[in-house]
């Protein structure tokens, strides 16, 4: 049986939405006449709207509703908006819901959608009682697997077997033209290899950042030893931090243009020969542009958070990672990683003999 109208639930965060996107592309490849609607929060809405496999994007206004529940007047207004949201959702009459998010709020959206087929993960692979709201439950293997593979596995609920998929981020023409104009504006030709370094993380995950001084030393050595062009990419709230790294370097580097969308950033990374950085959303974007990736792993799980495509993992076994201790002051997992470690992985992935 072919399902025509499909609802995807992966509300946030950016990196997690990116890792669910290949599942949508794989589904559309096998069921090209299906219509995919995706409910998502504001931060990833524009990215999904730019992808041709996604037919419609519905905004889940989490922040607006959270703020609205803080006052007596706002509570009733917010409840009214929630009721209209559910009513509008039910009128779309989805044939199937795929709940990649696996929490209470996504489970409730799945249930109230009125869809007769609600596919989610089993009890051990979901949170907050989410499994209660699914009438088709997908079991995952006992061993740890990447989020990409986990999302592919959910498609089994529709009878689709996807072990891997050659998924590539679609980048609109306007974004390519914007990035092209930036590179054309540079005063001198760029030397190869061109290596993107993204040293930042979201402010909520500051504990995943490798040390700024080491990024600077790394960039200097890439320029000196590999004759590389180093381009630093950055996101919201990271400009001053990245500029601080560049100012302490001995060699020249390039600062990427301000990117207003994730697909603009993707186009910058697509033009590079290598991406270097931590476990972040931009790392997964790079992997979906077919750019090889060197990932510096600190407290996060290198299997669960593995990128697509060609990559090298730089990580040290220190006994306390992976963990989710956001207030950790020691950061032994990151401090134990040296510039030499990252240089070695870089040379291996670029097939350069030390």
Each residue's pLDDT, cut to its tens digit, for the chain (354 residues) gives: 556 899 999 999 889 999 999 999 999 999 999 999 999 999 999 999 999 999 999 999 999 999 888 888 889 999 999 999 999 999 999 999 999 999 999 999 999 999 999 999 999 999 999 999 999 999 999 999 999 999 999 999 999 999 777 789 999 999 999 999 999 999 888 889 999 999 988 877 888 899 999 999 999 999 999 999 999 999 888 999 999 999 999 999 999 999 989 999 999 999 999 999 999 999 999 999 999 999 999 999 999 999 999 999 999 988 888 888 877 888 889 999 999 999 999 999 998 655
Output the pLDDT for position 22. Answer: 96
Distance of CA 113 to the CA centre of its chain: 26
Output the pLDDT for position 3. Answer: 63
Q: Of 212, 209, 218, 277, which is closest to residue 251 (Cα–Cα)?
A: 218
- Assign 12 to helix, strand or coil: coil
Find where tokens 């699914």 sit: 134
CA dist 218 and 197 (Å) reads 10
Contact 280, 18 (CB under 8 A): no
Output the pLDDT for position 2. Answer: 54
CATH superfamily of domain region 5-158: Glycogen Phosphorylase B; (3.40.50.2000)
Contact 42, 63 (CB under 8 A): yes
| Residue 352 phi, psi dihedral angles, 5° rounding | -105, 125
Output the pLDDT for position 1. Answer: 52
Do β-strands 229-232 and 254-255 pair in parallel, antiparallel, or remain unpaired?
A: parallel
Output the pLDDT for position 164. Answer: 76
All CATH 3.40.50.2000 domain ranges in the chain, comma separated:
5-158, 173-349
- Assign 170 to helix, strand or coil: coil
Output the pLDDT for position 58. Answer: 98
Q: Does the structural domain 173-349 have CATH classification 3.40.50.2000?
A: yes
Long-range contacts (CB closer than 8 Å, 24 or more residues apart) made by 131-139:
131/107, 132/107, 133/99, 133/107, 133/108, 134/99, 134/107, 134/110
Q: Hey, how many other C-beta atoms are within 10 angstroms of the C-beta on 260?
A: 11
How many Cα atoms sit within 13 Å of 106 on the Cβ side?
27
Contact 315, 336 (CB under 8 A): no
Q: Of 336, 340, 320, 218, which is closest to residue 277 (Cα–Cα)?
A: 218
How far apart, in Å, are the Cα atoms of 56 and each of 8, 34, 51, 208? 10, 12, 10, 33
Contact 241, 212 (CB under 8 A): yes
User: How many H helices and E strands in the chain?
Assistant: 13, 12
The helix or strand, by DSSP H or E, that contains position 120, with its residue range, turns out to be strand 117-121
The helix or strand, by DSSP H or E, that contains position 37, with its residue range, turns out to be strand 35-40
Output the pLDDT for position 342. Answer: 97
* Tokens (6 digits) for 256: 């990427």
Output the pLDDT for position 119. Answer: 98
């Amino acid at each position: 049986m072919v399902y025509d109208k499909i609802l995807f639930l992966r509300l946030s965060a950016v990196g997690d939405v990116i890792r669910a996107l290949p599942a949508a592309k794989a589904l559309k490849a096998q069921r090209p006449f299906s219509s995919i609607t995706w409910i998502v929060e504001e931060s990833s809405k524009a990215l999904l709207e730019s992808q041709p496999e996604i037919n419609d994007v519905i905004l889940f206004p989490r922040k607006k509703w959270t703020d609205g529940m803080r006052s007596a007047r706002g509570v009733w207004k917010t409840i009214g908006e929630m009721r209209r949201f559910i009513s509008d959702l039910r009128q779309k009459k989805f044939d199937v819901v795929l709940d990649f998010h696996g929490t209470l709020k996504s489970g409730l959206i799945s249930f109230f959608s009125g869809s007769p087929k609600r596919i989610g993960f089993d009890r051990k692979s979901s949170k907050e009682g989410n499994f209660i709201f699914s009438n088709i439950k997908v079991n995952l293997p006992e061993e740890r697997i990447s989020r990409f593979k986990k999302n592919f596995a959910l498609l089994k609920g529709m009878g689709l077997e996807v072990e891997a998929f050659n998924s590539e981020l679609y980048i609109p023409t306007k974004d390519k033209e914007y990035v092209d104009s930036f590179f054309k504006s540079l005063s001198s030709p760029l030397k190869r290899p061109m290596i993107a370094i993204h040293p930042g993380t979201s402010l909520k995950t500051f504990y995943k950042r490798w040390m700024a001084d080491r990024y600077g030393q790394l960039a200097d050595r890439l320029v000196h030893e590999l004759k590389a062009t180093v381009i630093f990419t950055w996101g919201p709230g990271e400009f001053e931090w990245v500029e601080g790294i560049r100012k302490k370097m001995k060699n020249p580097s390039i600062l990427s243009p301000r990117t207003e969308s994730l697909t603009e950033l993707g186009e910058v990374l697509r033009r590079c020969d290598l991406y270097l950085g931590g476990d972040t959303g931009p790392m997964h974007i790079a992997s979906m542009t077919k750019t090889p990736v060197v990932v510096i792993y600190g407290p996060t799980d290198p299997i669960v958070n593995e990128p697509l495509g060609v990559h090298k993992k730089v990580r040290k076994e220190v006994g306390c990672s992976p963990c989710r201790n956001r207030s950790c002051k020691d950061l032994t997992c990151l401090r134990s990683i040296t510039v030499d470690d990252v240089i070695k992985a870089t040379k291996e992935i670029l097939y350069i003999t030390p």
